[in-house]
Amino acid sequence: MSARDKRRLLQILTLSASALAGCGGEQHRELQAELAQLAKDVRGRVEPLPQVKPYEAVPFTAEAQIDPFRPERIHPGKSDERKETRPREPLEAFALESIEMLGTITKGEETFALVRAGSSLYRVQKGSRMGQNSGVITAIDGARISLRELAQDAEGNWTERSSALLLAETRR
């Protein structure tokens, strides 16, 4: 390093020191005193960490219970059978308990039943669907409509069950 470079470096250092000394002048003494006053009562204190409880393994005891994710619980019946593309019939929107059988109509060899669901009347026949449990009408006689439904048993399995809708006068 040449003498000229050394003098230049010395000048830069002197100017820097002068500039820094100017920042700590009289105008900042009040601020420094106030900060010193506020900081004298402050002590750094870190709260102790909470006690960590040891990990306790919980044994899995649900092997004997019903698996809620079995395919037959999610899709009742055979999975291929449940993928129906047919349009739903209007009476499938009603609970079977809310449908009322009003009477029968016979036309030739075929027997129809007249039912009320909500404020509407419907004519149904063998093979029609009604109720929210995939009910299919299996027989109609003068006093009852017999159905086959899919229902979930106590173990969560889907099984077929028979049910009936009685003539309104018979139920009273």
Greater confidence (3 vs 1) lies with: 3
* Together in a domain, 83 and 166: yes
For the chain, how many structural domains are there in total? 2
**Cα(29)–Cα(6) distance, rounded to whole angstroms?**
35
For range 5-13, the mean pLDDT: 70
Shared domain check, 75 and 36: no
Residues near 85 by Cβ (< 8 Å), separated by ≥ 6? Answer: none
The b-or-e profile of 12-37 (16+ CB within 10 A means b, else e) is eeeeeeeeeeeeeeeeeeeeeeeeee
Q: CA-based angle 29:33:39, to the nearest 5?
A: 145
- Residue 151, token pair as written in the block: 């229902």
Q: Assess if residue 96 is contained within a domain.
A: yes
Q: Which of 93, 123, 115 has its CA nearest to residue 164?
A: 115
Q: Give the domain extent around 160.
A: 71-171
For residue 125, pLDDT over 50 is answered with: yes
Mean pLDDT of the chain: 80
Together in a domain, 86 and 146:
yes
32 belongs to a structural domain:
yes
pLDDT at 10: 66
Q: Are residues 87 and 36 in the same domain?
A: no
Q: What pLDDT score was predicted for residue 93?
A: 92
**DSSP assignments along 103-162, one per residue:** EEEEETTEEEEEEEETTEEEEE-TT-EETTTTEEEEEE-SSEEEEEEEEE-TTS-EEEEE
Regarding whether 153 and 88 lie in a shared domain, the answer is yes
Q: Which of 124, 129, 136 is nearest to 160 (CA)?
A: 136
Are the C-beta atoms of residues 16 and 9 closer than 8 Å to each other? no
Same-domain pairing of 28 and 92: no
Question: For 59-68, 79-88, 130-139, which range has the lowest pLDDT when averaged over its residues?
Answer: 79-88
Mean pLDDT for 122-140 is 94
Same domain, residue pair 80 and 123: yes
State pTM to two decimals: 0.51
Contacts 24+ apart (CB under 8 A), 63-69: 66/155, 66/156, 68/156
What pLDDT digit, counting tens, does each position of 23-79 carry?
556 677 787 888 787 777 767 778 888 998 898 888 877 777 766 666 655 555 544
Higher pLDDT, 28 or 83: 28
